Every structure is written in structure tokens, then in C-alpha cells.
Amino acid sequence: MLTHGWQSSGRIDWILKSKTEFLQLKDCNFIAIDWGTIAADVNYPEVVLNTPTIGRYVATFVDYLYTEGDLNFTSLYVTGHSIGAHVMGIMGSNVQNGRVGRITGLDPAGPGFQTASDDFRIERSDAVFVDIIHTNVCSLKDICLGLPGSYGHVDFFPNGGDSQPGCASQGPLADAISGCSHSRAHQYWLESINGVTNFKSVPCPDWDSYRAGLCVSCGQGCLNMGVHVNDQLTGSYFLETYAVSPYAKG
């Protein structure tokens, strides 16, 4: 189950491509949650205020699939980009018939959510396993679209989680306006579904330590960022990518 972010819809290109990739990968049901009518509102703060309502509606739908169908909560894998990540997190904390198996947050939106309580944004208690891919995070005083901090059982920080290769040259403001780095989260994730090369990541306390070569060992274990992650490991993981697709370096 996938959903989009602000100024987008359930028919956006990356979601349609994800559907095709997943159906090539396995026999599964694929559902796109489309809240595009609300997401189209240019008044971003109003969309943020509506996020909990959208998440609860999705929770009601998931509970319906359980009571009227044969949905197995533990086999349910949901993913959301930007505000959509928070929609899925809120859904996970509001379902009534079990715990969602896994939620992946693709660069969860930062503006409007940095001071929100856990009930109103994605966090690790929303599912049995929560992993988050950060691609455009920074402090409040800087210009980024993602949510800084670690909120999942596993948090991935490709290229430090800030500006991504091929986007950084635009400058922080242009990068944020274009959504280049912000969008890399779903581009990396899409590539990971059936990609030839893995997004191998290394456990590390921070990007500076990684760049200094202090985290070359897998230690507790390396992880492949994206769909095929080992859900038995936890912590913060770092990696580098290429500037153009295919992005994975292995």
C-alpha cells in the first residue's frame, strides 16, 4: 500500500512504476491511496492540519479489509512519501485489529511536523517494523523538506541524508523548490524493488564519522536500504549513491 505527498496524487509516475515492479517481484495486492484532492491545496499548513484525518480514514479502510476480507496485518507493507509518510504512520497507530507489519517512510515531511507529537507523525511504534529513508534533512534554520532526527527502528541516511548528488549543485533553496533531493527517497526505494545492485549501508553514528572512514566495518551487520531490508537490525545506517540512475553502488 503506497501513498503520495503534497501537490501529488495516487497516479503519480513513481507509484505507477512501483506497482509494476512489485507485481513483477511477487504475487501480491497493490493499493495506491489517493488523497490528491486535499494534497492539491496550495495552503500547505492546511494540508498538514488535515493529515491526522486522512491517516484515520486510511486506518478505517485497512480495518475494513480485515473484517470484510482476509487481510493479514503482519503481511501488510505500507509506504508513504513526504506527508504521505505521516499519513501511513498515523494509520498504523489507529488501526483496531492488529499491528501493521511494516511501514517505510520516504523522507517524511519536516515543515509542520518537527514539533508535532508522536501521535501526529510517523514513528517506530506505528508498526512492527518502521524504516525511514532520509534524503533532505537539516536543522530548522536551513532549507530542507525532510524531517530531521531518527524515528524508525532503522533510519537510512544516503549521502548524509541532506542534499543528494546531482541535486546539491542547485543550492539549498533551488533544491528545496524543485524537490530534487526530497524525491530521491522514492527514486532509491523504487530502484531497490528489483534493482540489480543493492544499496548497501553501514551502521554509523553520523555522516562525519562515515566520511572519515570510521565506519568501514559492518559491525552488527550491514543493511540493504529499500524494500529488501533485514528487519532484525536497528539503528542509523549510512551509504553513498551515484548522482544518476541507477543510483546504487552496492
Query: Which amino acids are annotated catalytic?
Result: 82, 107, 182
Q: Is 235 left (phi over 0), alpha (psi -120 to 50) or beta?
A: left
- Let me know: does 106 contact 3? Beta carbons within 8 Å: no
Pairwise CA distance, residues 138 & 145, whole Å:
8
Which residues contact residue 24 at a Cβ distance below 8 angstroms, ignoring those fewer than 6 apart? 194
| Phi (first) and psi of residue 209, to 5 degrees | -65, -40
Number of continuous H segments (helices) and E segments (strands) in the chain: 7, 9
- Let me know: does 128 contact 74? Beta carbons within 8 Å: yes
CA distance between the termini of the chain: 27
Task: Pinpoint the alpha helices (H) of the chain.
Answer: 13-25, 36-39, 44-68, 83-94, 172-178, 180-194, 207-211
Pairwise CA distance, residues 244 & 50, whole Å:
35
